[in-house]
Structure 1
Amino acid sequence: MDLRQAYLDARAAGATRHRDIAAALGVTEGMLVDAHVGAPAGGLQARRLRRDFPRLLAELSRAGELMALTRNAHCVHERTGVYEHLSAQGEPGREIGMALGEDIDLRLFYSHWAHGYAVREGEQQSLQFFDAQGVAVHKVFARPATQLAAWQALRASWADPDAPAPQWRHAAPPAPVDAPGVDADAFRAGWAALRDTHEFFGLLRRHGLTRRTAMHLAAPEFAQRVDPHAARVLLEGAAANGTPIMVFVGNKGVIQIHGGPIKRVAVMGPWLNVLDACFNLHLREDAIAEAWAVRKPTVDGLVSSLELYAPDGELIAQFFGRRKPGQPERCAWRQLLDGLVDDRAWSQEAAGCTA
């Protein structure tokens, strides 16, 4: 198949998103982008990048304001700001890193970053990163306020004209299933003994559980299933009363986080959107199979969240009240989340939170 021509035909027919065009053509987005390496000016163009991705991201601060985009199959998270305070540790190619800027807040798992490209189409310029199958893990877009000279210099310095064509791998194996013979009582006791939200990952590993199954096994005071449209109610409530929130969206390679208030919530067909100046969220409500109100004990008191799951059990998004370490969560956030739950086992008591 001539992917370049097929792409042009799809564009002419009105298709816009690379991911959707690639799916219609039976390839991954990375395969579609790579097919445009060396393409002539005027359409989609791509250049392969050198593969020291932690160092590349650490240099992005030179370009000033950029837009970070992370998505999974059902949700897109876009945050505008500066890539600051980048760090990474671990053996080359398998580093775990962070970006802890005021606006760009990322958790980075570089073992899932296989290929990178400098992409241009018309006036839109980006850096795009894909896993070994060609599924996008992260994208960086130039913005009107981007320092274009530094941005262009960075794109040029990281281009690798001698890079070989990727050897794309087959689709990743299915998500792990739960281990047999789970001791539900021991798991619930472990949940009740949590002292930090990050300990939850270890709890799942010790008991061989997927995250969604953990919700079903949890004690009712720690997890309650709520209406799949709960995210809409929560976001509209947070926008109305100004409660600052945190929105986590990720895939295997990146978790991207928004922290702060939101203002404009809009529903457009199946899409639930936040459309603010520096933060956009696009969530397919019709893909939400389960929604859970969740609590975890910590040294700072209960930390509450809303978690959304796809039909295959994958985590789509998480919503928290914004807080700083060492501080309890805000009562306004806890009351928003409590309002989604209709069960006496889930206490409406807001004690231990802050105003």
Structure 2
Amino acid sequence: MNASTLWQSYLHLKASEPKIRARDAAARLNISEAELVAADPLSITLFPKWADILGGLEILGPVMTLTRNEAAVHEKTGIYANVSINGQMGLALNPEIDLRFFLHSWRYGFAVRGERPSIQFFDRHGDAVHKVFLTDRSDAAAYDELVSRFASSHACVEPDKVQDQQVEQPDAAIDVAAFRQGWLEMADTHDFFPLMRRFNVTRTQALRLAPSGHVREVSLESVTILLHSAAASALPIMVFAGNQGCLQIHTGPVRRIVPMGPWLNVLDPGFNLHLRMDLFEHAFVVSKPTRDGQVTSLECYDASGQMIVQYFGERKPGRPELPEWTELAHSLPDVERQHVH
């Protein structure tokens, strides 16, 4: 299907369902979202100079950043400052826009000029990894200048087929005693990824094989309980959500918790979170040792074992986690096991 035919099909779909989002429309048209965006007559392909583009976003002033996966949409408003890229890894570090970039999977970038001008990044499969939208306080002239600096001739979007996920090796093939010892010897939460790589375990497998007392499966209701409890007590929390290419973090309180159909939402000034609760399969309270004491998180996964969202109490290196957070996490209800008669 050529670009103009594709765009006509999209407009036809949009006419019958005005509220349909680009991601869902692309799925309906059996294409990737990157192909849909590339077909938009108002979109401009950008050179894949990710570090330079990300570093140039600060001059836009306040923007809204959106990072998502299938079951979580994480939106933050603020200034896009303190970007540093080191090879294929990078971060943006400031109180509002707090991001981790994994650029090895980034392939396409577009400026989309419609009613809400944006810069959008996609991975090699054509899935959106990160989007940056102008707000009514953004500098539109700076946006135009940034776009013209990185504009390329229209690129051909040819997404890779989605690979099967990492095949989980049997538990019996893993040196479980050594893995547990490695877990107990962690000095920092960032030691968890190297530990999983060293033993070649998937994330949910790591939780299953964790040392006794360090992982507890809890009811999916825990997500709602946690957000309502944090809101009621003004407890500052950290909310991580993302995908293979980008992780976005909110640090601070949450206030307005609103369920709407299958979605559970946080609708606060500067921070919106949308969770598709019907896609949640498992939730775990996880405890990891660090040099600052135990760090406790609530981790949520979909049916394929992909992380949807992760919660921590607000903390900084060198400080133990907030006792109110530890207490809340440990008070969440256990999962109800199905009894087979």
Shift of 1:191: 1.1
- The residue aligned with 1:179 is 169
* Whole-angstrom CA distance in 2 between matches of 1:206 and 1:283: 32
* Whole-angstrom CA distance in 2 between matches of 1:298 and 1:165: 47
Question: Secondary structure, in 3 states, of the residue corresponding to 2:85?
Answer: strand
Matched, 1:222 2:214: yes
Equivalent in 13, 18, 39 of residue 16 of structure 2 = 13
Question: Secondary structure, in 3 states, of the residue corresponding to 1:324?
Answer: coil
* Whole-angstrom CA distance in 2 between matches of 1:220 and 1:243: 28
Aligned residue runs from structure 1 range 124-135, under 5 A? 124-135=116-127
- The residue aligned with 2:110 is 117
Which amino acid is 1:49 matched to? Answer: L
- The residue aligned with 1:237 is 229
Q: Does structure 1 retain, via aligned residues, the 8 Å contact 2:176–2:209? A: yes
Shift of 1:167: 2.8
- The residue aligned with 1:353 is none
- The residue aligned with 2:51 is 54
* Whole-angstrom CA distance in 1 between matches of 2:264 and 2:177: 37
- The residue aligned with 1:83 is 80
* Whole-angstrom CA distance in 2 between matches of 1:11 and 1:164: 25
Matched, 1:302 2:294: yes
- The residue aligned with 1:108 is 101
Backbone CA RMSD of aligned residues: 1.3
Shift of 1:163: 4.3
* Whole-angstrom CA distance in 1 between matches of 2:16 and 2:228: 36
* Whole-angstrom CA distance in 1 between matches of 2:155 and 2:128: 19
* Whole-angstrom CA distance in 2 between matches of 1:88 and 1:245: 26
Q: Does structure 2 retain, via aligned residues, the 8 Å contact 1:229–1:285? A: no
* Whole-angstrom CA distance in 2 between matches of 1:342 and 1:31: 43
Shift of 1:120: 2.3
Deviations 1:101-138 (A, max 9, x none): 221011101111101001122x2111111111211000
Extract unaligned runs of 5+ from structure 2. 336-341
Matched, 1:96 2:89: yes
Shift of 1:342: 4.8
* Whole-angstrom CA distance in 1 between matches of 2:119 and 2:70: 20
Question: Secondary structure, in 3 states, of the residue corresponding to 2:91?
Answer: strand
* Whole-angstrom CA distance in 2 between matches of 1:220 and 1:293: 13
Q: Does structure 2 retain, via aligned residues, the 8 Å contact 1:224–1:341? A: no
- The residue aligned with 2:68 is 71
Equivalent in 282, 307, 322 of residue 290 of structure 1 = 282
Which structure is higher in helix share? 2
Name the TM-score, length of structure 1 as normaliser. 0.90
Shift of 1:155: 2.0
Q: How many residues align?
A: 329
4+ aligned runs moved over 3 Å, structure 1: none
Name the TM-score, length of structure 2 as normaliser. 0.94
Question: Secondary structure, in 3 states, of the residue corresponding to 2:113?
Answer: strand
Q: Does structure 2 retain, via aligned residues, the 8 Å contact 1:99–1:105? A: yes
Q: Does structure 1 retain, via aligned residues, the 8 Å contact 2:67–2:131? A: yes
Which amino acid is 2:21 matched to? Answer: R
* Whole-angstrom CA distance in 2 between matches of 1:164 and 1:310: 33
* Whole-angstrom CA distance in 1 between matches of 2:65 and 2:230: 23
